[in-house]
Chain A
Amino acid sequence: DAGITQSPRYKITETGRQVTLMCHQTWSHSYMFWYRQDLGHGLRLIYYSAAADITDKGEVPDGYVVSRSKTENFPLTLESATRSQTSVYFCASGAGGMTDTQYFGPGTRLTVL
C-alpha cells in the first residue's frame, strides 16, 4: 500500500528495555522525521533525516537513536526506555524538508511502565 506506515501501533514496555519503532514510506521522499506528542507540548521534533545515511538532531534527541540505511525506512530506537518517554510518536516524510508539506504516519502509542 502506498503511504507512510508505522509499527507497532501500540507498545507497552518496561523501564530500561530497548524499544524500536518502525517507519516505512513508499513515496521515495528524501526527508523523514520523528516527533513525539505529549499533552500540553504539541509535536516536538526528535530527529530527522535528509537522505539515506544523513541524520540530524531535533529539539528533543536525548535518549533516542535513529538510523537510515534505506530511503524508505527510518527506525527510532529508545536504547533504555524511561517513563518520561511515554508518548505518542509520529513519523513523517516529505519531499522538500521542513519548509514543505510533511505527511504523517498514523502514530505509535508507547507506554513505559
Chain B
Amino acid sequence: QKEVEQNSGPLSVPEGAIASLNCTYSDRGSQSFFWYRQYSGKSPELIMSIYSNGDKEDGRFTAQLNKASQYVSLLIRDSQPSDSATYLCAAYSSASKIIFGSGTRLSIRP
C-alpha cells in the first residue's frame, strides 16, 4: 500500500514566523506533488503543485521537493491567522493514482 505521511500536528507557529510543513511518500514512481489547504468544515483548495526537484515559490508559499529523499515540504512565510487550517499533501503516480496524506493541522497564534 503506497502511502503519504504527514505529522498530524497541531503545529503552532507565532504570527509573522515561518511555518514549515513536511511530507514523505513511499511510491518512488510519484511524479507530481500537491499541497491543499482545508479550513475546518470546508473543502480542500490547491495551494501549490510541484513536479521537479528544488523549490517553487508563489507569494508567501514555497514548496520544496527532494525525490531522492522522497520528501516534500511547504514553507509559509510571514504566517497570518488566516493560514490556520489543515494542510494536505498529495502525491500522484501512474501506478498509485493520487494518494493524500492525513494532513497537518496548523495554528497561527497572534
Sampled A-B contacts (19; CB under 8 Å): A40-B102, A42-B88, A42-B100, A42-B102, A43-B44, A43-B100, A59-B96, A90-B43, A90-B44, A98-B92, A98-B98, A99-B31, A100-B49, A101-B46, A101-B49, A103-B45, A104-B44, A105-B43, A107-B43
B97 at the interface (CB under 8 A from A): yes
Which residue of B43, B97, B98 is within 8 Å of A104 (Cβ)?
B43
What residues on A are CB-neighbors of B90 within 8 Å? 43
Please encode chain B, from 37 to 49, with 1 for each CB lying within 8 Å of some chain A CB and 0 for all others: 0000011111001
Report the count of interface residues on A (CB-CB < 8 A).
Answer: 21
What residues on B are CB-neighbors of A40 within 8 Å? 102
Chain B interface, DSSP helix/strand/loop, else mixed: strand
Please encode chain B, from 84 to 106, with 1 for each CB lying within 8 Å of some chain A CB and 0 for all others: 00001010100011111111000
Specify the chain B residue showing the minimal Cβ separation from A94.
B46
Report the count of interface residues on B (CB-CB < 8 A).
Answer: 21
- Least CB distance, A46 to chain B, in whole angstroms: 11
Specify the chain B residue showing the minimal Cβ separation from A40.
B102
What residues on A are CB-neighbors of B44 within 8 Å? 43, 90, 104
What residues on B are CB-neighbors of A103 within 8 Å? 45
The CB with the most chain B CB atoms within 10 A, among A41, A43, A101, A103, is that of A43
